[in-house]
């Protein structure tokens, strides 16, 4: 019998079991929710990528949107896997069925990778009866991907020396070619050094520290010496790319800031890019880009960069380009074509409530109806442009005259009407003035199929620089800025032609000193890629 006044007996074991079951149920629900969020993010990402594949690159903001979606999906996928694992652990102590995520079929591991067989031997005797008369029926193979840490090696080139018994003359093969004078490094290492510094934005001191952890001690001075020597060795190839870019009928131009180390602070220098990309109008010229460095942003710099060149320059409304468009410029004035993406951006910032909340920290963002309408009208023009991407210049001109010209004329008339109703200080008025002040340069694309609607080709070329600034912090000097511009141009050109910059640089450094001057064009990224594509066929 229970003692007088005593309460009911508590079954601690039952309570703990119920708590474990509730915990497992909660973990299962969290895993299911995380899985659904990851699935939704994947579907949205796939949808956006298919839209880009169907309609072509839509804008710089669209590319950034895909990048953001991929980062978001990465985070949700990681969370879902973590919650699944925690749910399995929680369910192991209970009768609650664990949640297991359904995953898509995995791609097989690449066939070209070497295979290492690790055989788990079968038992020598039957576990059931102890018999030793066993017959092999087959085997199951499970493949896992593994990585071998980077391997370093020293290549010893032995040159045998012989003496003639008849004339006593001594003969020896010539010394092997070195990529840089008195170099201890092979072309593959030098290509890695250059690409890590200028393509992956890893300064030399960080590379030195990483090599030291791998057992290879190299001084910073030695590495810097090799970068300078390689830059000199690659100069002839850079000149060919420069000549190819400046032979274009149309160029994309843009610039971005670059911090430069000064005496007591860092100054703000400039990196300029001039990109040739004839693919939008079906041109046969391979895409390429060159970079230039300057200590400031004065208009004399683009004037010097494009001295002797004439054609169509697609850029923003920066006043420093204006002297290129003077009617008395020699040999000829440059034709001006402005970027519709820049113009749209001014309106979009006034129409995007989320951007205002983030940028201005307003609790109540003000969305301008006129800006929303301007974005809608400009997007209709972009829709026409996507339909003629990659067509010939004449086909693009005819389609634009038929479909885009009425939209452009309506937009111009609408902007003039609405501008008359706005005050001078209105943000929407400033966005309208940006377009109305240079309307002929915005409308130039209607009469010339070579002109693109945007300057995104230049902005894409500059994007790695903007991403890398946080890693390399600043250029060490004006010469360092010029050297960075030199290498950025080579790497950007390789990427524009779908060439692996590091593999290309390794082959170029191995061959550039021995190849005849008249065959140097074989090393240009687009010709190199064609030769590499032929190798498997020949094999």
Q: How far apart are CA 339 and CA 441, in angstroms?
A: 9
Dihedral angle, C-alpha 519, 525, 528, 533, nearest 10 °: -160
Task: Please check the confidence at residue 385 and state whether its pLDDT lies above 60.
Answer: yes
Q: Mean of the per-residue pLDDT values for the chain?
A: 83
Beta carbons within 10 angstroms of residue 506's beta carbon: 21
- Residue in this structure with the two tokens 């180390």, named with its chain if needed: 261
Angle at CA 463, nearest 5°, toward 47 and 236?
A: 125
Give the residue extent of every domain in the chain: 20-91, 340-439
What tokens does 321 get? 């380009």
How high is the pLDDT of residue 441?
A: 93
Q: Hey, which residues does 312 pair with through a beta bridge?
A: 250, 335
Q: What is the pLDDT of residues 83-99, one digit of tens each?
A: 777 777 777 777 777 77
How high is the pLDDT of residue 1?
A: 43
Q: How confident is the model at residue 176 (pLDDT cuts 50, 70, 90)?
A: confident
- Determine the 3-state secondary structure of 293 from DSSP: strand
Q: Which class for 436: exposed (0-12), middle (13-18), buried (19 or more C-beta within 10 A)?
A: middle
What tokens does 371 get? 């800006």
- Residue in this structure with the two tokens 């629900």, named with its chain if needed: 29
User: Residue length, the chain?
Assistant: 539
Task: Determine which helix (DSSP H) or strand (DSSP E) holds 89, and give its type and residue range.
Answer: helix 60-91
Q: How far apart are CA 335 and CA 470, in angstroms?
A: 36
Closest of 408, 239, 274, 240 to residue 340, by C-alpha: 408
How high is the pLDDT of residue 250?
A: 93
Q: How confident is the model at residue 355 (pLDDT cuts 50, 70, 90)?
A: low
Q: How confident is the model at residue 181 (pLDDT cuts 50, 70, 90)?
A: low
Q: What is the pLDDT of residues 194-204, one digit of tens each?
A: 999 999 888 88
Closest of 252, 222, 234 to residue 506, by C-alpha: 234
Contact 488, 271 (CB under 8 A): yes
Q: Hey, which residues does 276 pair with through a beta bridge?
A: 288
Q: How far is CA 380 from CA 83, 367, 392, in A?
A: 44, 20, 21
Beta carbons within 10 angstroms of residue 248's beta carbon: 21
Q: How confident is the model at residue 539 (pLDDT cuts 50, 70, 90)?
A: very low
Sign (positive or negative) of CA dihedral 87, 92, 97, 98: positive
Task: Determine which helix (DSSP H) or strand (DSSP E) holds 458, and give its type and residue range.
Answer: helix 456-472
Q: What is the pLDDT of residues 316-353, one digit of tens each?
A: 888 889 999 998 888 899 999 999 999 998 888 887 65
Q: Which of the residue ranges 42-46, 276-280, 404-408 would you say has the lowest mean pLDDT? A: 42-46
Stretch 101-107: mean pLDDT? 67
Question: Does a cis peptide bond (omega within 30 degrees of 0) precede residue 227?
Answer: no
Task: Please check the confidence at residue 109 and state whether its pLDDT lies above 90.
Answer: no
Q: How far apart are CA 352 and CA 374, in angstroms?
A: 12
How high is the pLDDT of residue 474?
A: 63
- Determine the 3-state secondary structure of 420 from DSSP: coil
Give the residue with greater pLDDT, 455 vs 263.
455
DSSP 323: G
How high is the pLDDT of residue 62?
A: 57
Q: How confident is the model at residue 58 (pLDDT cuts 50, 70, 90)?
A: very low
Q: Which class for 474: exposed (0-12), middle (13-18), buried (19 or more C-beta within 10 A)?
A: middle
What tokens does 205 get? 């001191």
Angle at CA 358, nearest 5°, toward 48 and 57?
A: 25
Task: Please check the confidence at residue 178 and state whether its pLDDT lies above 80.
Answer: no
Q: Hey, which residues does 257 pair with through a beta bridge?
A: 270
What tokens does 385 get? 């442009």
How high is the pLDDT of residue 400?
A: 94
Give the residue with greater pLDDT, 28 vs 316.
316
Q: Which of the residue ranges 167-171, 242-246, 469-473, 507-511 would you say has the lowest mean pLDDT? A: 469-473
Residues 6+ apart with CB under 8 A from 29: none
Q: How far apart are CA 292 and CA 478, in angstroms?
A: 11
Task: Please check the confidence at residue 37 and state whether its pLDDT lies above 90.
Answer: no
Stretch 515-521: mean pLDDT? 90
Stretch 168-172: mean pLDDT? 87
Q: How far apart are CA 60 and CA 331, in angstroms?
A: 34
Give the residue with greater pLDDT, 376 vs 262.
376
Q: What is the pLDDT of residues 443-472, one digit of tens each?
A: 999 999 999 999 989 988 988 887 777 766
- Determine the 3-state secondary structure of 170 from DSSP: strand
Q: How confident is the model at residue 41 (pLDDT cuts 50, 70, 90)?
A: confident
Quickly list DSSP for 258-292. Answer: EEEE-SSSEEEEEEEEEEE--GGGT--SPPEEEEE
Give the residue with greater pLDDT, 28 vs 377.
377
Contact 478, 295 (CB under 8 A): yes
- Determine the 3-state secondary structure of 335 from DSSP: strand
With a pLDDT cut of 90, the percent of the chain lying above it is 32
How high is the pLDDT of residue 443?
A: 93
Task: Please check the confidence at residue 301 and state whether its pLDDT lies above 70.
Answer: yes
How does 207-218 read in b/e, with b if 16+ C-beta sit within 10 Å?
bbeebeeeeeeb
Q: How far apart are CA 205 and CA 44, in angstroms?
A: 41
Stretch 114-124: mean pLDDT? 86
């Amino acid at each position: 019998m229970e003692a007088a006044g005593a309460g009911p007996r508590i079954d601690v074991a039952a309570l703990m079991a119920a708590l474990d079951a509730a915990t497992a149920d909660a973990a299962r629900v969290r895993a299911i929710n995380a899985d659904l969020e990851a699935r939704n993010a994947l579907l949205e990402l796939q949808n956006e990528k298919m839209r880009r594949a169907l309609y072509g690159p839509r804008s710089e903001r669209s590319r950034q949107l895909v990048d953001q979606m991929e980062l978001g999906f990465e985070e949700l996928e990681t969370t879902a896997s973590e919650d699944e694992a925690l749910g399995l652990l929680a369910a192991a102590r209970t009768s609650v069925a664990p949640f297991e995520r359904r995953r898509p079929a995995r791609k097989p591991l690449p066939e070209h990778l070497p295979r290492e067989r690790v055989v788990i031997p079968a038992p020598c005797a039957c576990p059931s009866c102890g018999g030793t008369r066993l017959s092999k029926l087959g085997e199951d193979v499970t493949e896992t991907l593994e990585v071998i840490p980077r391997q370093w090696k020293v290549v010893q080139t032995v040159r045998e020396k012989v003496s003639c018994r008849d004339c006593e003359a001594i003969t020896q093969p010539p010394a092997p070619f070195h990529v840089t004078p008195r170099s201890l490094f092979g072309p593959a290492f030098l290509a890695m050094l250059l690409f890590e510094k200028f393509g992956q934005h890893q300064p030399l001191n960080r590379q030195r520290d990483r090599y030291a952890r791998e057992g290879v001690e190299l001084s910073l001075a030695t590495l810097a010496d090799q970068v300078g020597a390689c830059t000199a060795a690659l100069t002839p190839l850079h000149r060919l790319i420069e000549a190819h870019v400046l032979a274009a009928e149309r160029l994309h131009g843009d610039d971005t800031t670059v911090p430069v180390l000064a005496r007591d602070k860092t100054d703000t220098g400039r990196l300029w890019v001039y990109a040739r990309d004839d693919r939008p109008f079906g041109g046969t010229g391979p895409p390429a880009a060159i970079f230039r460095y300057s200590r400031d942003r004065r208009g004399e710099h683009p004037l010097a960069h494009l001295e002797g060149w004439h054609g169509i320059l697609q850029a923003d409304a920066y006043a420093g380009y204006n002297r290129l468009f003077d009617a008395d410029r020699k040999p000829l004035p440059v034709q001006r074509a402005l970027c519709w993406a820049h113009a749209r951006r001014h309106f979009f910032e006034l129409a995007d409530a989320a951007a205002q909340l983030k940028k201005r920290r307003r609790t109540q963002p003000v969305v301008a109806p006129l800006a929303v309408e301007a974005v809608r009208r400009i997007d209709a023009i972009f829709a026409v442009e996507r339909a003629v991407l990659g067509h010939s210049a004449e086909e693009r001109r005819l389609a634009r005259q038929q479909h885009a010209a009425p939209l452009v004329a309506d937009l111009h008339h609408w902007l003039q009407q609405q501008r008359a109703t706005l005050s001078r200080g209105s943000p929407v008025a400033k966005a309208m003035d940006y377009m109305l002040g240079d309307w002929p340069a915005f409308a130039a694309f209607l009469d010339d199929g070579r002109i693109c609607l945007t300057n995104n080709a230049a902005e894409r070329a500059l994007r790695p620089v903007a991403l890398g600034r946080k890693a390399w912090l600043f250029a060490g000097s004006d010469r360092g800025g010029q050297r960075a511009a030199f290498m950025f141009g080579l790497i950007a050109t390789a990427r524009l032609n779908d060439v692996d910059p590091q593999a290309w640089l390794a082959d170029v450094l191995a061959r550039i000193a021995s190849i005849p001057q008249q065959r140097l064009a074989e090393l240009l990224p687009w010709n190199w890629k064609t030769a590499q594509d032929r190798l498997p066929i020949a094999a």
